[in-house]
């Protein structure tokens, strides 16, 4: 068994479902695609996407001795559903449990520590979403799956309910050369289902029209009218394009208990959010990915859902 194979075996034992290795060569074609996307302003409020985009495609700019990129995918699907209730707001599946940054980073750090124990000269950098890495592009290069028309990574074994993280390593490892073919075919389910038409063409999302972007990243005191009028009950994030994806018929329950819904909640009471204090907010969302939108954003989202609900309008 090669050392690359031993790394993959260890990663699975740590809890990852898919692992691939890519050479740390720059992502030239993907970088061109990113720059074109940025030039159109499709990144919306995500200003950090436009800062030093070359770092996102060249790992040596993040870690000068980069030779290999280990890419890991962690299944986060839990077999629960959001109820449709006009008094409650739906939460995106990825944010039901503990903050995935913490969970994925912990596992990657364990893997890096194991690698160092076997190869004392090894040095590496752990990347989990917040680092300027093109996670989905690296997952494709490492053979984990393909990027679907909704712009999410799709794996044949698990669908799209996966988190991605990387270790940039100073070791030359056997790279995975095989790529997974794009299996979206003629399907347009995600484009057809998006209530705001945020998927402006296959594989291209205009974040300014995306419910997830608006309810999580936008810091404006009011949601854009097109978003507000088409929330379809979504309070934090949106899973519509993934829910309708035929490849998610292969979804499997995760073995990671920390991704189970906190307090068994996949929706939140809107009045409860509006009455929340900074103290109760801090307690409820400690170590949750949902804290990203801040209390002010949560109250804005709850108010938008209430104002668009005839039953709630009667109460006002």
Q: What is the pairing mode between strands 88-91 and 234-236?
A: parallel
Q: Which of 25, 58, 87, 129 is catalytic?
A: 129
Cα–Cα distances in Å, from 46 out to 55, 130, 271? 16, 12, 29
Q: Residue 52: left if φ>0, alpha if ψ -120 to 50, beta else—which one?
A: left
Active site residue 129: yes
Is residue 21 within 8 A of residue 141, CB to CB? The reply is: no
| SS3 (DSSP) at 166 | strand
Helix (H, G, I), strand (E, B) or coil at 126: strand
Q: Is 233 helix (H, G, I), strand (E, B) or coil?
A: coil
Q: From CA 243, how far away is CA 81, in angstroms rounded?
A: 11
Retrieve residue 73's tokens: 């995918």
Q: Tokens at residue 108, please?
A: 């990657």
Secondary element (H or E) of residue 74: strand 68-75
Rg over CA atoms, the chain: 20
Given phi > 0 = left and psi -120 to 50 = alpha, else beta, which region is 35?
alpha
Q: Return the active site residues.
A: 129
């Amino acid at each position: 068994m090669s050392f690359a194979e031993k790394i993959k075996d260890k990663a699975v034992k740590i809890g990852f479902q898919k692992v691939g290795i890519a050479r740390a060569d720059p992502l030239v074609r993907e970088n061109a695609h990113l720059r074109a996307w940025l030039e159109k302003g499709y990144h919306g409020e995500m200003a950090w996407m436009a800062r030093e985009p070359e770092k996102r495609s060249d790992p040596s700019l993040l870690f000068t001795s980069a030779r290999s990129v280990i890419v890991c995918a962690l299944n986060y699907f839990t077999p629960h559903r959001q109820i449709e209730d006009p008094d409650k707001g739906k939460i995106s599946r990825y944010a039901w449990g503990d903050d995935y940054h913490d969970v994925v980073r912990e596992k990657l750090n364990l893997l890096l520590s194991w690698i160092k124990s076997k190869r004392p000269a090894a040095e590496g950098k752990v990347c989990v979403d917040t680092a300027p890495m093109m996670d989905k592009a690296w997952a494709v290069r490492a053979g984990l799956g393909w990027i679907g028309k909704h712009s999410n990574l799709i794996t044949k074994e698990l669908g799209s309910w996966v988190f991605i993280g990387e270790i940039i390593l100073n070791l030359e490892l056997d790279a995975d050369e095989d790529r997974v073919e794009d299996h979206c075919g003629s399907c347009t389910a995600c484009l057809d289902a998006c209530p705001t038409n945020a998927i402006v063409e296959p594989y291209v999302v205009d974040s300014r029209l995306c419910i997830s972007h608006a309810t999580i990243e936008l810091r404006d005191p009011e949601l854009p009218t097109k978003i507000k009028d088409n929330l379809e009950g979504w309070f934090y994030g949106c899973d519509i394009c993934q829910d309708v994806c035929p490849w998610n018929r292969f979804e499997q329950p995760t073995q990671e208990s920390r991704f189970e819904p906190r307090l068994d909640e996949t929706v939140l009471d809107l009045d409860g959010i509006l009455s929340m204090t900074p103290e109760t907010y801090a307690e409820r969302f400690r170590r949750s990915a949902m804290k990203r939108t801040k209390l002010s954003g949560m109250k804005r989202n709850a108010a938008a859902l209430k104002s668009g609900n005839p039953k709630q309008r009667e109460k006002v």
